[in-house]
Every structure is written in C-alpha cells, then in structure tokens.
Amino acid sequence: MNKGQLIEEIAQKTSTKKEAQVILETTLEAIKNSLKENEPVAIAGFGTFKVKEKKARTGRNPKTGETIQIPAKKTIVFKPAKDLKELL
C-alpha cells in the first residue's frame, strides 16, 4: 500500500480525499518531528517507532577486502504491537 492508497482508505471513512490527505500528512509530520527530537512514537494496537543509535564498527569492503571503519549513525526502528504481530 502506498501513500495514495492510504489516503483513499482514509477518505472512505471521512468526507473527502483532501481531508484524508491533510489528516495523513499531519500525522506523518508529527511522527517525523517526534523522531527528530529522539522521542519514541507509540500507537496503541499498532506499534512503536523509535530512534536507535548504532555504534561505530569495523567492516570490510566487499570488492577489495579492505578493512574500513563504519561510522556511528542513527536509524529508525519499529516494534510492532502484540495485536499487530498476531494478525500475521
């Protein structure tokens, strides 16, 4: 499902596509802003998004076999809620 299909789905339960688009974009923007501030976002019955810091580590260039240093970085992780896991 892509963003357009998600807007269609929301629009079926609200009055218009435009309202659905505003609702979705506002929700996504709020999630992005919270993650930018390193605040987890928990949606009951769905799951939790949070920022995880990965430590710097040593890796290997697959083409040359050369050892390289991979810098530390932040990534976003999603942990599904129990209810969501049970659907699968």
> Could you report the per-residue pLDDT of 42-58, keeping only the tens digit for each?
999 999 999 999 999 99
pLDDT confidence of residue 35: 96
Fold category of 38-88 in CATH: HU Protein; Chain A (4.10.520)
pLDDT confidence of residue 57: 96
Span 15-20, mean pLDDT?
Answer: 86
In Å, what is the CA distance from 79 to each residue of 35, 38, 82, 85? 14, 16, 9, 10
**CB-CB contact of 76 with 51 (8 Å):** yes
pLDDT confidence of residue 33: 97
Q: Which amino acid is at 7?
A: I
**pLDDT over threshold 80, residue 15:** no
Domain spans in the chain, listed from the N-terminal domain onward: 1-37, 38-88
